[in-house]
Amino acid sequence: MPETILVVDDDLDILELLKMNLEPEGYTVRTASDGDGAVQSACTEPPDLILLDVMMPHKNGLQVIEELKNIDETKNIPVILVTARGQTDDKVLGLETGADDYITKPFDLREVTARVEAVLGRTRPIKYINPLKRAMGEGFSEAGLQQLAGHLEAAAAIQKKLLPDQAPSLDGFDIANLIQSSTSVSGDFYDFIPLRETQIGIVLGDVKGNGIPAALLMVMIRTALRLLCHDEPTPAAILKRINDLVARDTEADLFATMIYGILDTEANTFTYANGGHCYPFHYNSRTGIDVLKTGGMLIGAFEEATFTYGACHFDPGDIIVFYTDGITETEAAEDTTSDTSTHWEQDTSALFYGGERLANCLSENTALAPSALCEAILTDLAQFSGSTQTNDDRALIVIKRDI
Amino acid sequence: MNFETTIGEENISILHVVGKILGNASDAFRKAMELQLQTGHDKLVVDLTEVPLIDSSALGAIVTSLKGYQRSGGKLVLLKPQKAVQEVLEVTQLATVIEIYDTEEAARDAFM
């Protein structure tokens, strides 16, 4: 997931310039044109870094820092101050107030990028501290939490390497995938495994539970799958083997949901087995959207679980969408979390994005290529939730047969 | 989320939950289920009548507790999950390993 930078300056030209310079580097850039806007923006959705002009009317950059340092959610956000040449007092004051670095105007754009990257590299583990505190209670020292945050950052980096960046290119098919992790290590995972020249194994899964144990389980499942997929003949047999392995070796409250299937680009078929995972959607131009409902028990909870397998045929232009529940469980923009006790009868479809809306989004965008379809779904999610951020991991795989 | 537990006839406990069970609330939910077992009440009805939605962590809590009750020779059943909850139980096929009842009487009879 791209890191977000909040750029704050009362000079709109500078805002635009910095935005144009930072976005191609892969950052998501938000802007605010005054101090109050900056504080509000940072509190609503804490960015990964703030580039903050010092000289602003009403509330200057130093006051902004002071305010942010007093709020739990924002106090650890790294800040780079942008000062005019010669304002040495500001620099000293700024660093004393808690800024992480400063840049002097007029600045060299390459310097801005370099400083942003340096500060982010140094402070990346810090973003784990607040979630860790929430998860572990207040009994841990700041130093202990920082060490743990460092370990988490390292684990997250290893985990990212295990997820393929790009779907393989196949004759007659186009595949796109997308993953967005929330702040901690990801529970969602996917993999593409070449089996034969015309066959590829595709898995999308979601390890339930949190943090490092969940990440380790994901690594275990991924490794087992890579080893087993060449031996076992059917997706159902593979899920059974993985289930037994996980059920025997792990605690009861660690489990996963996953779909594993084989795409055959010669027969134009997808055969799959589903271990308790959200049902995928299959779009066909004649019959519309169908839910692939061959199901099975979630993986790793019960040794006695059994799995069946389903199959579907790809006509030209057909699409299959796999997703994790981080997509369908995305909450609506309004604050619906308060006092649910009196509203329990209300229609839950308004509170959560849900499978129906995802199916609608698919049906409206069937002409798009898979990668554009992924983007369309993300845009629809952002519209629904009023935010581009996510509290849960999200993953999507879209497979489309060429027309 | 709120809940209260009543222990009634035949030593059957009923855990009545009100509200969505999401995120951190699942911990409290799991502890409430396990507390009954720890205090020797190994017959539990989890009343989901007023639970509009659960997430995967709540599901984990149910799986963990269910296995705990099974291990100790007790029993945990669900009462009247709403549509969205029922769907989750079906997709994950937990509905095939956990007994689900529509009325309190039927749930109580399950322990006879």
Q: Please judge whether B59 and A208 are an interchain contact, meaning their C-beta atoms are less than 8 angstroms apart.
A: yes
A206, A301, A341 member nearest B19 (Cβ): A341
CB-based contact, B72 to chain A, within 8 Å: no
Show Cβ contacts of residue A327 under 8 Å, excluding neighbours closer than 6 positions.
A353, A358, A377, A381, A394, A395, A396
**A300 and A250 Cβ atoms separated by less than 8 Å:** yes
DSSP class per residue in A62-128: HHHHHHHHTSTTTTT--EEEEEETT-HHHHHHHHHHT-SEEEEES--HHHHHHHHHHHHHHHGGGGG
At the fourth CATH level, the homologous superfamily of domain B2-109 is STAS domain (3.30.750.24)
> How far is Cα A343 from Cα A171, in angstroms, rounded to an integer?
51
CB contact under 8 Å between A253 and B92, yes or no, is: no
Dist. CA B3–CA A154, nearest whole Å = 39
Q: Which of A250, A291, A298 to mutate to test the interface with B (most CBs of B within 10 A)?
A: A298
Chain A CB contacts of B59 under 8 Å are 208, 298
Burial A82-110 (b: 16+ CB within 10 A, else e): bbeeebeebbebbeebebbbbbbeebeee
- B16: tokens are 């009545």
Please state, in angstroms and rounded to a whole number, the distance separating the CA atoms of residues B2 and B25. Answer: 9
Per-residue pLDDT of chain A (403 residues; tens, 9 = 90+): 678 999 999 999 999 999 999 999 889 999 999 999 999 999 988 899 999 999 888 888 989 999 998 988 888 899 999 887 666 777 777 778 888 888 888 888 888 999 998 888 877 766 666 666 655 556 667 777 777 777 777 777 777 777 887 888 889 999 999 988 775 566 889 999 999 889 999 999 998 876 677 777 888 888 889 888 888 779 999 999 999 888 876 665 678 999 999 999 999 999 999 999 999 999 998 999 999 999 899 998 888 888 998 999 999 999 999 999 889 988 888 654 444 444 444 455 567 888 999 999 999 999 999 999 999 999 999 999 888 777 778 999 999 999 8
B34 shares contact with chain A (CB less than 8 Å): no
Q: Give the CATH class of A163-401.
A: alpha beta
Domain boundaries, chain B: 2-109
The listed CATH number (3.40.50.2300, 3.40.50.80, 3.20.20.70, 3.40.50.1970) that belongs to domain A4-129: 3.40.50.2300
Q: Is B48 on the interface with A (CB under 8 A)?
A: no
In this prediction, residue B6 carries a pLDDT of 84
Residue-level pLDDT at B78:
97
d(CA A306, CA A177) in angstroms, rounded, equals: 28
pLDDT at B44 over 90: yes
**Residue A131 near chain B (CB below 8 Å):** no
- Buried b / exposed e over A286-307, threshold 16 CB at 10 Å, is eeebeebebbbbbbbbbeebeb
Q: Rounded mean pLDDT of B65-90?
A: 92
Chain B within 8 Å of A332 (Cβ-Cβ)?
Answer: no
Structure pTM? 0.70
Higher pLDDT, B41 or A186: B41
Q: What is the pLDDT of residue A134?
A: 59
Contacts of A121 (CB under 8 A, 6+ apart): none
Question: Does A163-401 match A4-129 at the fold level?
Answer: no
3-state SS class at B87? helix
Q: What's the gap in Å between the CA of B48 and the closest CA on chain A?
A: 11
Chain A residues with beta carbon closer than 8 angstroms to that of B55: 325, 329
Q: For residue B80, is pLDDT > 80? A: yes
Looking at the complex, report in whole angstroms how far the Cα of residue A84 sits from the nearest Cα belonging to chain B: 46
Closest-CA distance, A118 to chain B, in angstroms, reads 34
Contact (CB<8Å) B55/A325: yes
Contacts of A279 in chain B (CB under 8 A): 91
- What are the boundaries of each domain within chain A? 4-129, 163-401
Instruction: Kindly list the residues from chain B whose CB atom is less than 8 angstroms away from the CB atom of residue A209.
Output: 57, 60
Asked if B106 has any chain A CB less than 8 Å from its own CB, the reply is no
pLDDT of residue A250: 65
Q: How far is A332 from chain B (nearest CA, A)?
A: 14
